Structure 1
């Protein structure tokens, strides 16, 4: 089954909204209102810098089937940019059909053609399917870092003047 992967543009807002809603349902989050997701997708795809695309979408037979949400970070100690893969999600009905692999291949090709030295990502320690998938592709577990987060009250406390 051929998979078409491309960077999302403003014209793909509806497809991105479909994926955001499917992702929320898959991860057992409260249902995401499609109109709210569409509004967010339009904003993100319309306002973000075209130099740093943030969403790759995969289509199977013209139906949106997968999503990769990424950010490109600039130099660290090795002076190479990196692509951080925030989310990789494939709809249930096409899991195991090569959509995830097509998204990773697309990102790898982007990295190689744009001088980006690596792809970094995280996944939940309980997500055995994702861990097996990434291991099959050659990803290495990199135990040197601990994932931390500022959100909610902790983020508010950091606000100047708080």
Structure 2
């Protein structure tokens, strides 16, 4: 099966929106309204810089089958940029068919061609399939970091002077 992975463009808004809706359900979130997801996808894709795209999509036979949402961060203490993989999602019926591997390969190749030294990512502790997938790729667990979040009220409090 041939998997076509590419950076999403504004023409891919409907495909991105469909993946966002499916991903919300998979990650145990309330279902997203399709119109809201499409509006967000259109907005995000229109705002992207060609130098730092944010979404890679995987297609099989013209149908969207996978999504990678990324951010590229500039140098830290090692003076190498890093690609942060926020989400990697493959549709349920397309899992275990090489789509996740194709997305990671696409991202790793992008990193190597653009001098990006590593890919960092997180996954839920309950997501055994993801943990096995990343272990097969050779991903190392780093217990040095604790994930913290500012959202909702805490974000509003942090925004106040």
User: What's the counterpart of residue 149 of structure 2?
Assistant: 149
SS of residue paired to 1:67: strand
Distance 2:25 2:154 in 1: 27
- 1:160 offset after TM fit, Å? 2.9
CA RMSD of aligned residues (A): 0.8
Misfit runs of 4+, over 2 Å: none
User: What's the counterpart of residue 62 of structure 1?
Assistant: 62
Distance 2:131 2:142 in 1: 12
After superposition, what is the alpha-carbon deviation per residue over 1:48-80, rounded to whole angstroms, capped at 9, x for unaligned? 222110000000110000000000000000000
SS of residue paired to 2:145: coil
Distance 1:134 1:128 in 2: 10
- Structure 1 runs not aligned, ≥5 long: none
User: What's the counterpart of residue 71 of structure 2?
Assistant: 71
User: What's the counterpart of residue 86 of structure 2?
Assistant: 86
User: What's the counterpart of residue 18 of structure 1?
Assistant: 18
User: What's the counterpart of residue 110 of structure 2?
Assistant: 110
Distance 1:30 1:126 in 2: 18
- Structure 2 runs not aligned, ≥5 long: none
SS of residue paired to 1:134: helix
TM-score (norm 1): 0.97
Distance 1:6 1:23 in 2: 19
Distance 1:11 1:25 in 2: 24
SS of residue paired to 1:84: strand
Distance 2:47 2:119 in 1: 24
SS of residue paired to 2:135: helix
- 1:31 offset after TM fit, Å? 1.6
- 1:25 offset after TM fit, Å? 1.9
Distance 2:53 2:70 in 1: 8
User: What's the counterpart of residue 30 of structure 1?
Assistant: 30
User: What's the counterpart of residue 100 of structure 1?
Assistant: 100
